[in-house]
A and B are shown apart, each in its own frame.
Chain A
Amino acid sequence: MNFNLSEEQAMIKDSVARFVADDYNFDQRRQNVAMDKGFNPDNWQTFAALGWLSIPFPEALGGFGGNAVDTMVIMEEFGKGLVAEPYVATVLLFGGLLAHSGDGELQQQLIAKIIDGSLQGSFAYLERQSRFELSDVKTSAVAEGDNYRLNGEKTVVFNGSAADKIIISVRTSGEQYDENGISLFIVDADADGLNHTDYRLMDGQRAANISLNNVVVSKLQLIGELDQGFSLIQSVVTETTRAICAEAVGIMQKLTETTVEYSKTREQFGTAIGKFQALQHRMVDMFIAGEQTRSLLYRAVCSANANSDDSEKDLLALKVMVGRAGTLIGGEAIQLHGGMGMTDELDVGHYVKRLMMINTTFGDADYNQARFSKLLNR
């Protein structure tokens, strides 16, 4: 039993931390998210050059063959730097669906392009009514010979405006909430009948609503098995949930450190406010919440790597705690910064917003706690 990183993992960690320190201070971050795509394309090329875009992909597909720990390491450091480049959307979701769906020509080609930084992707899974239910899919795909005709609307598609290609969950059979009958198609962003409306999310990333109006795709654009897309979605969402939880743990650590440092320098009533016991205890609570979340992260990562029967339960516990501890730490970070915590100029609020967005992504704490409760007897 050990909690140490391998030499390679330590190198990845150092490399991301160095990038954040040298090229991703808060002013630079602000400029990056203000760009058209919501991120800086030069940074994306840097990620490609440093090999980060290849980390989760299997070696057979040209990747680094990383496991859950490797992804955790990179995501935690991204969290500390509040990195906005669409690693989650393009590499983990879009790339993850491709990698899990096989190793055919399509997968080989597209994953090579993800790894070299020339392809942006996204995964459109949400619908207006679906809230956190991944199987609530109304967008339809109807077979017409060797083609399918897609109609419907997808909402809050991460990286939906910058993506060159989009994987879309659609219903090919069954009823609205059925897990069976969901299929995945990959569609060019400029396909006829596909329209996207872009907007910004509170954490700075750009998203889009995507409407599909008689979009015709070939059956070759099917990702995975017809009607059996849901288990593919589950696998990828599971991995990505773990990854964004690692990002959250990085953010929690950063927020706690920032708050503690501020309390050492900010003086009121003739003394540093960090000397006040009422505030010390609150910062200790932040520290404890962050460390407990980190423990669950390690637990979830270890059980995923070991293919343990407990991995589902461990991940749900982690996601619940990310939501709850994130609310506590984020709220306290703003409160302890006083008026400064209210300013957009300070990075604190931006970290808090990303934590809030992570809580919402793939089901918030309440939603996942209800799922956890169903596993209580395991």
Chain B
Amino acid sequence: MDTNFSPEDLAFRDQVRTFFQDEFTAELAARISTTASHKTGIVEWQKILAKKGWIAPNWPVEHGGTGWSITQDYLFERERAAAGVPDVVPFGLKMVGQVIIAFGSEAQKQLFLPRIYNSDDWWCQGYSEPGAGSDLAALKTRAERDGDDYIVNGAKIWTSYAQYADWIFCLVRTDPTSNKQSGISFLLIEMKTPGITVNKIDSIDEKHTLNEVVFDNVHVPMANRIGEENKGWTYAKVLLAHERTAIAEIAKSGHYLAELKAIAKEEISGGKALMEDTLIQRRFANIEIELMALEFTELRVLSSFAEGKGPGPESSLLKIKGTEVQQAIQQLRMDLAGYYSGVVTGELSNEQIGHGFGDRARREFMYGRAATIYGGSNEVQKNITAKAVLGL
């Protein structure tokens, strides 16, 4: 048992650090965080990563993966978070790309994978429905055969960035007589297909992320089905475990916590830095201890991956604790911001009103509420853990 880094690992870490310093410029970061240029900024950054060959580390090498060790994966993620670099948009690279690699036809691989790799297509995820949230298998969107096509009718909801998307991967019901998990198929649908409407959903974080996607007699070629008809749930399930691991965002939480420490040292209350307050120290300590544990829980999960055991039930633990820590950090940022957490910037910037981070604190806090809901709510994660791990 050891977690020492070899000289080669440390050299790799330095290489990654330099790359992020050189390539992820402040100007690019600013464009990404501005709503109007968000999409183009992200795509530009992802193309830089693709050119470097680091956009899809976990893909098989023949499709452009890096073949890194778990230590290299870990170091890459840690450096990325420390440099404030956003994770890649997961829907193409981490989700549908993985499904196509594992279950797609040769034709699908050739058509889609290079375009995903190079961020030529923006993907979104069509899982949840108005009547199927945590109980995903209750989904009702129908796909009926019509010659070489399916005709899709129904609605998907909470679809992040559907307004940007060129493609959506969907779970649809192809066998209306079957119950629940069986009778579901996995379809790839081009967003410009006639009959698709994207309706914006205003969310409490004052940003436009969420949408409803409505399908009204949408024709989808049979060739865009992944694998066999009615077996879609099997393919989707593989993704869910990956998704839960990614949602934990442990390295990012570490980076945020370091930011908050700097803030707590600068914020003055009654003539003393907030960080000198023992109650504030305790809150930091509680979060940091949980995070230190999570870092090693993640390493344990990663090393079981590396030994070919795949993402086990521990991935549920990562999702639950990872999102709890995220929310504790968001709450702490709000509390450090005090009054300024309530400021909605308009004509005046944060700094002009009196503070540099209040607006961000609130947006992150509000958007962060979603983390314990998406990817299977934390309560559902506990149901899964009770069944799969504890055998209850």
Closest residue of A by beta carbon distance from B297? A295
> Assuming A5-B1, A275-B392, A321-B289, is B284 touching A376 (CB within 8 A)?
yes
A103–chain B nearest beta-carbon distance, Å: 27
Cα distance, A292 to B250, chains bound together (Å): 14
Q: Return chain B residues, CB-CB under 8 Å to A234.
A: none
Q: Of A9, A280, A292, A298, which one neighbours B383 at CB under 8 angstroms?
A: A280
Bitwise interface map of A from 24 to 48 toward B, beta carbon under 8 Å scored 1, else 0: 0000000000000000000000000
Most chain A CB atoms below 10 A, which of B74, B261, B288 = B288
Q: Of B285, B297, B317, B379, which one neighbours A373 at CB under 8 angstroms?
A: B285
Q: Of A287, A298, A320, which one neighbours B389 at CB under 8 angstroms?
A: A287
> Assuming A1-B303, A3-B299, A288-B320, is B281 touching A320 (CB within 8 A)?
no
B339–chain A nearest beta-carbon distance, Å: 25
Q: Return chain B residues, CB-CB under 8 Å to A166.
A: none
Residue B293 at the chain A interface, CB threshold 8 Å = yes
Cβ–Cβ contact A306 & B281, under 8 A: no
Cβ–Cβ contact B390 & A373, under 8 A: no
> Assuming A283-B386, A373-B281, A376-B261, is B295 touching A299 (CB within 8 A)?
yes
Q: Return chain B residues, CB-CB under 8 Å to A302.
A: 1-4
B91–chain A nearest beta-carbon distance, Å: 28
Cα distance, A321 to B317, chains bound together (Å): 16
Q: Return chain A residues, CB-CB under 8 Å to B261.
A: 376-377
Closest residue of A by beta carbon distance from B9? A1
Cα distance, A283 to B389, chains bound together (Å): 11
Count of inter-chain pairs, beta carbons less than 8 A: 122
Cβ–Cβ contact A317 & B289, under 8 A: yes
Residue A281 at the chain B interface, CB threshold 8 Å = yes
Bitwise interface map of B from 1 to 24 toward A, beta carbon under 8 Å scored 1, else 0: 111100000000000000000000
Cα distance, A302 to B292, chains bound together (Å): 13
Q: Return chain A residues, CB-CB under 8 Å to B4.
A: 1, 302, 306
Q: Return chain A residues, CB-CB under 8 Å to B200.
A: none
Residue B96 at the chain A interface, CB threshold 8 Å = no
Cβ–Cβ contact B1 & A314, under 8 A: no
Cβ–Cβ contact B297 & A291, under 8 A: yes
B150–chain A nearest beta-carbon distance, Å: 37
Interface size class of B (residues with CB under 8 A): 35 or more
Bitwise interface map of B from 201 to 240 toward A, beta carbon under 8 Å scored 1, else 0: 0000000000000000000000000000000000000000
Cα distance, A317 to B282, chains bound together (Å): 12
> Assuming A1-B2, A302-B2, is B382 touching A280 (CB within 8 A)?
yes
Closest residue of B by beta carbon distance from A305? B2
Cβ–Cβ contact A260 & B293, under 8 A: no
Chain A: interface secondary structure? helix
Most chain A CB atoms below 10 A, which of B2, B69, B284, B299 = B2
Closest residue of B by beta carbon distance from A263? B392
Residue B81 at the chain A interface, CB threshold 8 Å = no
Q: Return chain B residues, CB-CB under 8 Å to A369.
A: 282, 285-286, 289
Cβ–Cβ contact B281 & A317, under 8 A: no
Cα distance, A299 to B289, chains bound together (Å): 11
> Assuming A2-B303, A260-B392, A280-B383, is B70 touching A296 (CB within 8 A)?
no
Residue A64 at the chain B interface, CB threshold 8 Å = no
Most chain B CB atoms below 10 A, which of A275, A285, A372 = A372
Chain A 293-311 residues near chain B, CB threshold 8 A: 293, 295-296, 298-299, 301-302, 305-306
Cα distance, A302 to B300, chains bound together (Å): 13
Q: Return chain B residues, CB-CB under 8 Å to A298.
A: 1, 296, 300
Most chain B CB atoms below 10 A, which of A5, A292, A301, A370 = A292
Cβ–Cβ contact B1 & A287, under 8 A: no
Chain B interfacial positions (CB closer than 8 Å to A):
1-4, 69-71, 74, 261, 275, 278, 281-282, 284-286, 288-290, 292-297, 299-300, 303, 314, 317, 320-321, 379, 382-383, 385-386, 389-392
Q: List 7 A-B contacts (CB under 8 A).
A: A3-B299, A4-B1, A284-B385, A295-B299, A298-B300, A299-B293, A317-B289
Q: A1-B303, A280-B392, A317-B288 are in contact. List 8 more A-B contacts (CB 8 A).
A: A264-B392, A281-B386, A283-B390, A284-B385, A288-B385, A299-B3, A302-B4, A321-B293
9 smallest CB-CB distances across A and B, nearest first, come from: A295-B296, A280-B386, A373-B281, A292-B293, A295-B297, A317-B289, A284-B382, A295-B293, A302-B3
